[in-house]
Structure 1
């Protein structure tokens, strides 16, 4: 059995969250979606459980932060090219997301951040395969 990743995120509006994430290309698993939670499927291995803040609070004794004002995590997804990063961002911005900072271009890696409508931070990045294999310093030394 392959390993799967489930990320739990707070939402103040499940319907808005479902529309946002499906605009990014995810699907909804209706078997695990109700008035408290939505199962967002990115792949056979990666899932977001977008939960109402009240429901997420039942999973912890810690305070559930408001992602509009506090950062707890930043979740990054790779893309196959810089153009794929930009097209994902365009879809996310059109679906109600926001871009909290300028794109980051390190030569070997290009990344952009997208906040969902609740303020949860998603990163989308492309890294040159050679940089991933050799490390950024070796890649930059060879390609300067």
Structure 2
């Protein structure tokens, strides 16, 4: 079996969230979807499970966060072209998503962040292939 990641997100309305992710280009896998959950496929390796709060709660004894007021994770999608970053941000805005961090062009890196209707944050990034191969520029390096 190939390695995959299933990102599980608690949502208040599975149908609304499924429509949002479909508008961004995710494809729904009906084999793993029902009224409690929707499996939204980004790639062969990245799948997002949208779980209603009651179903999500069966997997954890922890309190489910309100992602509109509390950050639990920052998820990041990478893109091959700047235009792809622009397109997913436009799709997120058109599908009633928020844009807490607009797209910034830093030369070697291009991206921003959008939120789904429940407030889950998705970062976006395109990196110059030459810069990515060389590592971050000296001014972007972080001291350990």
Answer yes or no: same fold by TM over 0.5.
yes
Cα distance in 2, alignment partners of residues 78 and 102 from structure 1: 16
Quote how far apart the aligned CAs of 1:101 are: 2.2
TM-score, with structure 2 as normaliser = 0.91
Q: Tell me how far 1:115 sits from its aligned partner.
A: 0.2
Deviations 1:39-62 (A, max 9, x none): 111111110000011211110111
Supply the RMSD in Å over aligned alpha carbons.
1.6
Q: Structure 1 length normalisation: TM-score?
A: 0.91
Q: Which runs of 5+ in 2 are unaligned?
A: none
Measure how far apart 1:105 and its partner are: 2.8
Give the structure 2 partner of residue 41 of structure 1: 41
Q: State the distance in 1 between where 2:4 and 2:36 align.
A: 22
Number of residue pairs aligned between Structure 1 and Structure 2: 140
Shift of 1:106: 2.5
1:15 corresponds in structure 2 to 15
Q: Which residue of 2 aligns with 1:124?
A: 124
Deviation at 1:38, TM superposition (A): 0.5
The corresponding residue for 1:68 is: 68
Which runs of 4 or more aligned residues in structure 1 lie more than 4 Å from their structure 2 counterparts after TM superposition?
Answer: none
Q: Secondary structure at the match of 2:67?
A: coil
Once the two structures are superposed, what CA deviation does each residue of 1:103-123 show, in whole Å capped at 9, x if it has no partner? 233221111101001100011
